[in-house]
């Protein structure tokens, strides 16, 4: 508890261009939660180097992500939004927790297996212990809740296991975090293959709408979205492409699927796609304008990056010192 509020931690990687799926599925939720919780939202750049990055590109994208956090509505005076690499306690706690995590546990991580297969030429130790760094992120802030997608659930489970193990040996040290599973959080699927999640790493640029896409591009991608030959607009699993378009439409307009289905009753897919495109533009255009606004004021962003890194470091160091003491590191001489 901080200021009478529960603590929330989450992070996002600055790799790839953020998609509409990231925005509607994650960021928008983060903003909705930011009043209720004491929030830490990190740009997890240390996780990003578990696969090779172009340094200049990583730096640029990290700053762009920070800008998007704010543009999406996370007030940097209220939410601690910061770069993971600016707070050295993350690396320090991760090292300690590595010594309380078993190889066998990491071996079971499905994301490691997937990524190792994808980057067979660079299966490094950081990729292997990625979940331990994630555990350090969460535990440093004594987070109560962690909003994560289903793909990160296993990492959250291992975080809980590590925390419980440590608490079991040394006594109450870490808060055991819980997954925050949002209300029917909008899960946005690929426009080209509606069985697959919309992903920033999809090779097919038509599969995803990027937050930076201009209106023409958005319209074109919506027009090309894969549907089916049923020629009826119903909200059901048998029509995954149409269902996905309706989900996007509802997430962007705040309408319910029932309302949307009624609205499109008797109309064709062309109409639906047009309406979806327009609803997406109505959400993304203002976001893009705010991004441009923030980019213009370098000092504004810089000052918040500095202040929030200090704030994060203060809290994180408190936990780190406690842990260092428990495992037997000598006290610092002051
Ligand atoms: N691994 C997460 C992802 O790729 C990002 C992340 C890093 C994270 N540390 C975290 C998410 C801590 C939640 C909490 O999506």
Residues 261/235, Cβ–Cβ less than 8 Å: yes
Q: How confident is the model at residue 301 (pLDDT cuts 50, 70, 90)?
A: very high
Q: Report the percent of the chain where pLDDT is more than 70.
A: 99
Q: Mean pLDDT, the chain, as a whole number? A: 95
Cα 29 to chain center, whole Å? 10
Whether 182 shows a pLDDT value over 80: the answer reads: no
**Catalytic residue numbers, as ranges:** 115, 197, 200
Per-residue pLDDT tens over the stretch 141-179: 999 999 988 889 999 999 999 999 999 999 999 999 999
Res 112: pLDDT = 96
Q: What is the DSSP string of 9-50?
A: EEEE---S--BHHHIIIIIHHHHHHTTTSEEEEEE-HHHHTT
Residues 186/24, Cβ–Cβ less than 8 Å: yes
DSSP β-ladder status, 145-147 and 80-83 = unpaired
Q: Report the percent of the chain where pLDDT is more than 90.
A: 92
Res 183: pLDDT = 61
Beta strands in 191-332, from DSSP E residues, in sequence order: none
Res 186: pLDDT = 72
Per-residue pLDDT tens over the stretch 315-329: 999 999 999 999 999
**Residue identifier of the C-alpha nearest atom 14 of ligand 1:** 10
Whether 2 shows a pLDDT value over 90: the answer reads: no
Whether 136 shows a pLDDT value over 70: the answer reads: yes
d(CA 259, CA 257): 5
Whether 103 shows a pLDDT value over 70: the answer reads: yes
Residues 157/39, Cβ–Cβ less than 8 Å: no
Res 17: pLDDT = 86
Is 115 touching ligand 1 by the criterion CB < 6 Å?
no
Res 1: pLDDT = 81
Is 76 touching ligand 1 by the criterion CB < 6 Å?
no
Res 129: pLDDT = 98
Query: Looking at residues 114-124, what average pLDDT do you find?
Result: 94
Whole-number Å distance, alpha carbon 208 to ligand 1 midpoint, is 21
Whether 51 shows a pLDDT value over 90: the answer reads: yes
Whole-number Å distance, alpha carbon 233 to ligand 1 midpoint, is 36
Query: Looking at residues 90-117, what average pLDDT do you find?
Result: 97
Is 18 touching ligand 1 by the criterion CB < 6 Å?
no
Tokens of 226: 């894969």
């Amino acid at each position: 508890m901080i200021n009478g509020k529960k603590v929330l931690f989450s992070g996002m990687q600055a790799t790839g261009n953020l998609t509409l799926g990231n925005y509607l599925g994650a960021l928008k939720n983060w903003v909705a939660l930011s009043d209720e919780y004491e929030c830490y939202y990190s740009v997890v750049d240390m996780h990003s180097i578990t696969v090779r990055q172009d340094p200049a590109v990583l730096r640029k994208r990290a700053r762009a992500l920070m800008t998007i956090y704010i543009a999406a509505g996370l007030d940097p005076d209220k939410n601690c939004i910061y770069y993971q690499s600016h707070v050295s306690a993350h690396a320090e706690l991760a090292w300690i927790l590595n010594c309380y995590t078993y190889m066998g546990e990491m071996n079971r991580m499905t994301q490691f297996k997937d990524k190792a297969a994808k980057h067979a030429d660079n299966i490094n130790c950081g990729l292997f212990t990625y979940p331990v760094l994630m555990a350090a992120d969460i535990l440093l802030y004594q987070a109560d809740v962690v909003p994560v997608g289903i793909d990160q659930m296993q990492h959250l489970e291992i975080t809980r296991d590590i925390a419980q193990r440590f608490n079991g040996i040394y006594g109450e040290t870490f808060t055991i975090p819980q997954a925050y599973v949002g209300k029917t959080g909008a899960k946005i699927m690929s426009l080209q293959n509606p069985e697959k999640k919309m992903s920033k790493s999809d090779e097919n640029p038509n599969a995803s709408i990027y937050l930076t896409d201009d209106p023409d591009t958005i319209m074109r991608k919506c027009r090309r979205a894969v549907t089916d030959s049923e020629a009826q607009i119903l909200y059901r699993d048998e029509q995954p492409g149409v269902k996905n378009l309706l989900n996007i439409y509802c997430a962007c307009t705040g309408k319910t699927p029932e309302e949307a289905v009624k609205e499109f009753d008797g109309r064709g897919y062309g109409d639906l796609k047009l309406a979806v495109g327009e609803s997406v533009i109505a959400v993304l255009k203002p976001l893009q304008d705010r991004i441009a606004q923030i980019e213009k004021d370098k000092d504004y962003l810089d000052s918040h990056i500095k202040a929030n890194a200090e704030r994060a470091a203060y809290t994180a160091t408190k936990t780190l010192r406690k842990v260092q003491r428990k495992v037997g590191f000598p006290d610092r001489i002051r």
